[in-house]
Structure 1
Amino acid sequence: MKCSVIKIPAGAPHDMSGLQASIKEGLFRPEEVVAVLGKTEGNGCVNDFTRGYAVMALKNFFAESLNGQAADISYVMSGGTEGVLSPHFTVISRSGGPEKGVEGAGLKSLAIGVARTRAFLPEELGRLSQVDEVADAVAQAVLDAGITSAEDVHFVQIKCPLLTAEQIYEAHGRQASLVTEDTYKSMGYSRGASALGAAVALGEVERSALGEEDICVNWDKFSAVASTSAGSELSCCEVIVFGNSLSAEGPYHIDHAVMKDAIDGAALQGLLERYPGDELVQVLAKAEADPDGVIRGRRHIMLDDSDINHTRHARAVVGGVLAYVGGDPMIYVSGGGEHQGPKGGGPVAAVFRRR
């Protein structure tokens, strides 16, 4: 297996000109693309249709690029480019499959695995049924990547569904009980259940010790590598696992750290210092507003602002901090960190290219 990661600026959610130019330059081959992560300039909330717009444009683009052939690509669009965050697409390619690589040299390279769950019913979101389905999908994606140890998994990106008013009405008609009837809160429940699914799959949380009452309540249970993003453009969960494996080859590799809070730029700085001779290709991170309303003992108002959702505040803060440390605002920072890293913090991963 040989994987690559490139990021491409986007002038709008439907702007495919950068992808077209990259293909002409030979930066990636459409038939080898397994996933596209995007940052689109919507509000990142329930009614952020820039995500679905981008997915539709990407599907049409790859259909044309592959002469009408269906492309089995995972599309994960994260809305919200507040502050200095720059709209872009991260194109993830993979050629070959897991094979014995450079095992003699003990050199692990970037390995990518993908999977998806079945479609969920509205009443399953934010509950243990979602946790279990995501756990199975993450395990499948780890196998797909040829990764043999959970320690080699450094980032698990999951796109999950949310509840809309229409879905709530349909569930009422069946007298189904929902975890919440607040569409915005449903995003958090879906993100949280998905993150716990990753934690179960990777052995970070014992499934037997997890109850439905823990979801979005018990912040001591979390994954140090999960990043989940909710949207109305899908009904299943798309899973992308990033890690390193001896069965992969190539110059790319990935590592991660955990930010203790929204201004913990030292977490990324430590990764950069660990690989001083390598080129930083992309930063992948979660942004969270501390639910206690404080950062290092200082009060913040992210949770009290009725005009701007706290996930938008958090993206702007974390995006600015990490852009400064890495020297580039075109990074993937997703808001809403329920069970993704410790309370108020979140995972940050860095993809490197060996020079």
Structure 2
Amino acid sequence: MPIARVHRIIAQGPDDASGLQAAIASGTIDPAGILAIFGKTEGNGCVNDFTRGYATQSLTLALARHIGEERAKAVCYVMSGGTEGAMTPHWTVFERVDGDGEPGPALAIGRVHTAALAAEDLGRMGQVRQVAAGVRQAMAEAGLSDPADVHFVQIKCPLLTAQRIGEAEARGATVAVRDTLKSMGLSRGASSLGVAVALGEIAEEDLTGALIGRDLGLWSGRASASAGVELLNHEIVVLGMSKGWSGPLAIDHAVMADAIDVEPVRAALDRLGLGAPGQLGQAARDRLVALLAKAEASPDGEVRGARHTMLDDSDISSTRHARAFVAGALAGVVGRTDIYVSGGAEHQGPPGGGPVAVIARKA
């Protein structure tokens, strides 16, 4: 029976694979079982954040020494740039092994790489449909037939560059947007709506390309999308609870209504047996395996009626402000800074809020 293992490894930089290598050398991680690695790297998280590709290359090369280049490239590397504030750069390694563990339901993992996305499909229904199909495929790999058992879908999606736009226009195609930074938001949004379609949160017939990035009242409560220059396709990782998996790990999720709405996260922690009236104590922190969250600056320029300036800063992207702000709020709840907070939550939770997933060891 499959068993999911999740390992959190501190990184000293985007090229630091030493912690992963040490875990493999000690037998803590079997490299043959690695399905995905989520990373927080200390870049700017924008179009020209090459720390994501650097980290992906470094981790791929490290794994190739143990399992060969082809299998190393099959791993889903979801690198999220930006560790503003006190967020700790780190890797979260998702591993599948087979054996006899404590009975399920338990954390289940499925992953898939889609085909490359044509530049003219980015931010349009073509991307929504490709992601929806990929999510369904990843669910099947994890043995998750009921969308209700899915708690989080992490996607790494492409963005547009001047070169990619030029190539599309040279073959007579048009792109959804020519602003490369705005293409990140459109890609995240279309990917998230693809998750919503796959999980039955939104019917595909209720969507049109004109609604993507505009009608933010349409959203998924379990999608997390991060755009990057380092890929042309989608890397999709589905996390859920399945009776067909065993082992000590469980996952739950919450949806923050705004950037300081931590009570739904406390409720998810409580459902996993980590409830606390204040910050988690040491024993509970030791059981917390991973916290994954989305963050964005509220598009109306306010948080609970008070003005924020994240959207007015022409020097620093609002996604960087939001990551630092939400990471601080969540770190105050769980007492850890090695958490995964990704900026830009278009169609991921209500405007200004975002989905959160908690993975913990069972009591």
**Category of TM-score, reference length = shorter chain:** over 0.9
| Residues 85, 319 of structure 1: 8 Å contact kept | yes
Residue 182 of structure 1 pairs with residue 184 of structure 2: no
Question: Where do 1:223-238 residues align within 5 Å?
Answer: 223-238=220-235
Q: Which residue of 2 aligns with 1:59?
A: 60
What one-letter code is carried by the residue in structure 2 that aligns with 1:57? S
Decide whether aligned partners of structure 1 residues 305 and 27 sit closer, same or farther in structure 2, where only a CA change above 3 A counts.
Answer: same
Q: Which residue of 2 aligns with 1:48?
A: 49
Q: Secondary structure at the match of 1:316?
A: helix
Q: Which residue of 2 aligns with 1:329?
A: 337
| Residues 110, 141 of structure 2: 8 Å contact kept | yes
Residue 349 of structure 1 pairs with residue 350 of structure 2: no
Q: State the Cα deviation string for residues 270-301 of structure 1 (Å, max 9, x = none).
A: 22222336611110000011111100000111
Q: Which residue of 2 aligns with 1:133?
A: 130
Q: Which residue of 1 aligns with 2:7?
A: 6
Q: Which residue of 1 aligns with 2:273?
A: 276
Q: State the Cα deviation string for residues 294-349 of structure 1 (Å, max 9, x = none).
A: 00000111111100000000000011111111110001110000000111110011
Q: Which residue of 1 aligns with 2:278?
A: none
Q: State the Cα deviation string for residues 199-240 of structure 1 (Å, max 9, x = none).
A: 000000000111111100111111100000000100000000
| Cα distance in structure 2, aligned partners of 1:92 and 1:325 | 24
The match for 2:113 among 105, 111, 116 is: 116
Q: Any unmatched runs of 5+ in structure 2? A: 275-283
Q: Return the offset for 1:151.
A: 1.2
Decide whether aligned partners of structure 1 residues 68 and 205 sit closer, same or farther in structure 2, where only a CA change above 3 A counts.
Answer: closer
User: What is the alpha-carbon root mean square deviation over aligned residues?
Assistant: 1.6
Q: Secondary structure at the match of 2:311?
A: coil
Q: Which residue of 2 aligns with 1:246?
A: 243
The match for 2:323 among 307, 311, 315 is: 315
What one-letter code is carried by the residue in structure 1 that aligns with 2:93? V
Q: Which residue of 1 aligns with 2:313?
A: 305
Question: Where do 1:197-236 residues align within 5 Å?
Answer: 197-236=194-233
| Residues 273, 362 of structure 2: 8 Å contact kept | no
Q: Which residue of 2 aligns with 1:80?
A: 82
Q: Any unmatched runs of 5+ in structure 1? A: none
| Residues 42, 81 of structure 1: 8 Å contact kept | yes
TM-score for the superposition, normalised by structure 1:
0.96
What one-letter code is carried by the residue in structure 2 that aligns with 1:310? S
Q: Return the offset for 1:68.
A: 5.4
| Cα distance in structure 1, aligned partners of 2:70 and 2:348 | 36
Q: Secondary structure at the match of 1:55?
A: helix
Residue 35 of structure 1 pairs with residue 36 of structure 2: yes
| Cα distance in structure 2, aligned partners of 1:344 and 1:92 | 29
TM-score for the superposition, normalised by structure 2:
0.93
Q: Which residue of 1 aligns with 2:303?
A: 295
Q: State the Cα deviation string for residues 225-281 of structure 1 (Å, max 9, x = none).
A: 000000010000000000000000000010000001011122222222223366111
Q: Return the offset for 1:27.
A: 1.9
Q: Which residue of 2 aligns with 1:166?
A: 163
Q: Return the offset for 1:49.
A: 0.2
**Identical pairs, percent:** 53
Residue 95 of structure 1 pairs with residue 97 of structure 2: yes
Bigger Cα displacement from structure 2, 146-155 vs 30-39: 146-155
Decide whether aligned partners of structure 1 residues 68 and 198 sit closer, same or farther in structure 2, where only a CA change above 3 A counts.
Answer: closer
The match for 2:255 among 254, 258, 273 is: 258
Q: Return the offset for 1:172.
A: 2.2
Q: Which residue of 1 aligns with 2:279?
A: none
| Cα distance in structure 2, aligned partners of 1:52 and 1:253 | 30
| Cα distance in structure 2, aligned partners of 1:194 and 1:28 | 31
| Cα distance in structure 2, aligned partners of 1:114 and 1:66 | 18
| Residues 148, 245 of structure 1: 8 Å contact kept | no
What one-letter code is carried by the residue in structure 2 that aligns with 1:231? G
What one-letter code is carried by the residue in structure 2 that aligns with 1:92? F
Q: Return the offset for 1:67.
A: 5.4
What one-letter code is carried by the residue in structure 1 that aligns with 2:350? P
| Residues 250, 272 of structure 2: 8 Å contact kept | no
Q: Return the offset for 1:70.
A: 3.1
What one-letter code is carried by the residue in structure 1 that aligns with 2:19? G
Bigger Cα displacement from structure 2, 129-138 vs 117-126: 117-126
